[in-house]
Amino acid sequence: MNKFLDLIDPLLILSAAVMGVALYLVFIWVPTETNQGAVQRILYFHVPLAWGSMLGIFIVSGSSFMYLLKNNEKWDRLAVASAEIGVIFGGLMLLSGMIWARPVWAVWWTGEAKLTTALILFFVYVAYLMFRGYFPPGAQRQRLAAIIGVIGAVDTPIIYFAANLWSQAHPPIVTGPAASAESTLGSDLGTVLLASTIAFTFLFIYLVQTRYKIRKSEDDIIELKRASSASAMRGVN
């Protein structure tokens, strides 16, 4: 029971409540789209997951920049926490897109611009985390990782505008400033998409917050071990 209670957090409760409302809207309230059928409802997962993966790289980039500027560990912790959650969101974005594409496009994957740039974003996350995993710990690792994080964000606007810049198979932009009048969703579909995006945003924040706390605990342990061995050395001398 305690193990379960450890996971309970006000943000998690809020996230679960909003997610419950979003799921009701997705599966019961919104009508089935006539052309694609039930599979169109994947959009209500796919778009918020894509938003989460882009939000993640923005936070990685912003906090990496702040780390380079201030040299404060908290920014590095925030960057690595966002990268880890971002890679999950990015992976699920690609997977949900592939599963949607199979019945609608009759292929799992095609090398068109939006898909390719989204895959690059996923690889940026993986490269960032792999670099941190394999490079020896220390300030140099954090600085170099921060540089990768800052550079990685360049891909985000390209993904967003890809469907407009290179008109290919991917549906046009349906939300945000670049959405054209023809491609904007109807009011029902737009409401559900908004609710789902808010729910996934809360989930994203909760996960980043939890991962940040874990990273802080890991740093505390390293510090305690260092202090412990320093005092042991003093005892020997």
Question: Which residues of this chain interact with another protein, rule CB under 8 A?
Answer: 3, 6-7, 12, 32, 34-39, 41-42, 45-46, 49, 88, 92, 95-96, 99-100, 102-107, 110, 167-169, 203, 207, 210-211, 213-214, 217-218, 220-221, 224-225, 227-228, 231
Q: Which is nearer to another protein, 49 or 55 (CB)?
A: 49
CB of 33 to another protein, least distance (A): 8
CB of 151 to another protein, least distance (A): 27
CB of 28 to another protein, least distance (A): 14
CB of 61 to another protein, least distance (A): 23
Q: Which is nearer to another protein, 115 or 153 (CB)?
A: 115
Q: Which is nearer to another protein, 105 or 131 (CB)?
A: 105
Instruction: Write out the chain in H/E/C secondary structure.
Output: CHHHHHHCCHHHHHHHHHHHHHHHHHHHHCCCCCCCHHHHHHHHHHHHHHHHHHHHHHHHHHHHHHHHHHCCHHHHHHHHHHHHHHHHHHHHHHHHHHHHHHHHHCCCCCCCHHHHHHHHHHHHHHHHHHHHHHCCCCHHHHHHHHHHHHHHCCHHHHHHHHHHHCCCCCCCCCCCCCCCCCCCCCHHHHHHHHHHHHHHHHHHHHHHHHHHHHHHHHHHHHHHHHHHHHHHHHHHC
Q: Which is nearer to another protein, 68 or 169 (CB)?
A: 169
CB of 160 to another protein, least distance (A): 20
Q: Which is nearer to another protein, 97 or 152 (CB)?
A: 97
